[in-house]
Amino acid sequence: MKFTALTEILKDSVLLAEKSTGKRTALPVLSSILCSAEKGKITLTATNLETAVEVWVGGKIEKEGRVALPARVLSSYMSLVGGEQVVFSAKGDNVEIVSQKGKTLVRGHTPDDFPIVPRQDEIGAFTVAAADFRDALRRVVFAAALSDIKPEISSIFFSVKPHIFTIAATDSFRLAEQKMEGMYGEQAACTVLLPVRSANELTRLLDKEEGDVSVSVGKGQIVFLTKRFRMISRLTEGIYPEYQRIIPSSFGTEAVLSKENVLDLIRVAGLFVGKLSDITFVVNPKKQSIEARTAKYGHWGNGC
């Protein structure tokens, strides 16, 4: 294997892939990035067996091949490499990396030991704007449970209908829901549960992504595809709680407040919360206030 790529593009691509590798695993190859130059394209692949990511890199291929390199070493080295271009040349299971400022040899693993990234037949597929999808995930993912005791609520709920894409999350104490209108088609109608770790990883991958994301659902898996990467994740089995039933149809009290003021006050009140991290909101037509108190640290309150 031998290829040449732009340093900055390869550096960003390695960072994207490196976060999806397995951490503290008994299989060293899962802590690696599979670098392949085949069929006219350069691909960086990483997996932790729950998710897999393929990142495509533009460059010039002189000789096809593939090798698995330690992700941490490769990522750290690429962050320090100077020059406009780098050349990767495989020597057995090792790779020589040459730049304008020097060269190094990175010891790798046999690529045949790297897990096969699954392919699937699409059951439902739809397209959504990457920026809208990313923002919707950020508004929802914080509400999911972090424990794996109940896999259903440590997942993000996706409901796709012909004109509405709903994303929701709850940990039984809080609930967040985001709806996006669009033309998703009759064939895309489905309901799936995406593990919260996969949702966080997807949000990171979409951080600088523009254009559209193609989403396809298969048996037990979901695939997110952009011009720059392809992410595959397993789906959570189970039935999501019928959270719609607890959403009030009407409210007895409504208040309009300055977002910046409320955020500042919550940050200060958070210093004085008790074991339940509870903050009291007092709503009065003449004055709204936020209060927090604890026997250990004291009491704080102010108006909005």
pLDDT at 130 over 80: yes
State the helix-helix crossing angle for 7-18 and 71-78, rounded to 10 degrees: 150
Residue span(s) of the chain under CATH 3.10.150.10 come to 2-113, 124-246
Q: What are phi and psi of 225, to 5 degrees?
A: -130, 130
CA proximity to 189, closest of 126, 270, 258:
126
| Confidence grade of residue 113 (pLDDT, cut at 50, 70, 90) | confident
- Look at residue 102 in the predicted model and tell me its pLDDT: 86
| Confidence grade of residue 269 (pLDDT, cut at 50, 70, 90) | confident
pLDDT at 281 over 90: no
Convert 66-79 to b/e letters by CB count within 10 Å (16 or more is b): bbbbbbebbbebbe
SS3 state at 239:
coil
pLDDT at 178 over 90: yes
**Mean pLDDT for the stretch of residues 102-117:** 89
pLDDT at 110 over 70: yes
Q: Could you tell me the two tokens for 171?
A: 């940990």
- Look at residue 193 in the predicted model and tell me its pLDDT: 97
- Look at residue 4 in the predicted model and tell me its pLDDT: 93
- Look at residue 291 in the predicted model and tell me its pLDDT: 65
| Confidence grade of residue 276 (pLDDT, cut at 50, 70, 90) | low
| Segment among 46-50, 167-171, 232-236, 299-303 with least mean pLDDT | 299-303
Q: What is the pTM of this model?
A: 0.86
Q: In what order do the strands lie in the sheet with 59-63?
A: 59-63, 2-6, 85-91, 94-99, 102-107
- Look at residue 109 in the predicted model and tell me its pLDDT: 87
- Look at residue 96 in the predicted model and tell me its pLDDT: 94
pLDDT at 122 over 60: no
Q: Which tops the pLDDT comparison, 294 or 164?
A: 164
pLDDT at 303 over 60: no
| Contact call for residues 231 and 205 (beta carbons, < 8 A) | yes
- In DSSP terms, 35 is beta-bridged to 44, 67
pLDDT at 148 over 80: yes
- DSSP per-residue string spanning 107-174: E-B-GGGSPPPP----SEEEEEEHHHHHHHHHHHGGGS---SSSTTTTEEEEEE-SSEEEEEEE-SS-
**Mean pLDDT for the stretch of residues 151-170:** 95
- Look at residue 208 in the predicted model and tell me its pLDDT: 84
pLDDT tens for each residue of 66-103: 999 999 999 999 988 888 999 999 988 899 999 887 88
Q: Rounded to the nearest 5 degrees, what angle is found at the Cα of 290, between the Cα atoms of 285 and 293? A: 140
Q: How far apart are CA 242 and CA 153, in angstroms?
A: 11
- Considering the chain, what percentage of its residues have pLDDT values greater than 90? 56
pLDDT tens for each residue of 26-79: 788 889 999 999 988 999 999 998 999 999 999 999 999 999 999 999 999 998
Convert 12-49 to b/e letters by CB count within 10 Å (16 or more is b): bbbbbbbbbbbeeeeeebbbbbbbbbeeeebbbbbbbe
Query: Mean pLDDT of all residues in the chain?
Result: 87
| Confidence grade of residue 300 (pLDDT, cut at 50, 70, 90) | low
Strand locations in 189-228 (E): 190-195, 212-218, 221-225
- Look at residue 301 in the predicted model and tell me its pLDDT: 65
Domain 2-113 is found in CATH 2.60.40.10: no
Tokens 């004055």 locate to 287
- Give me the CATH code for the 124-246 domain, please: 3.10.150.10
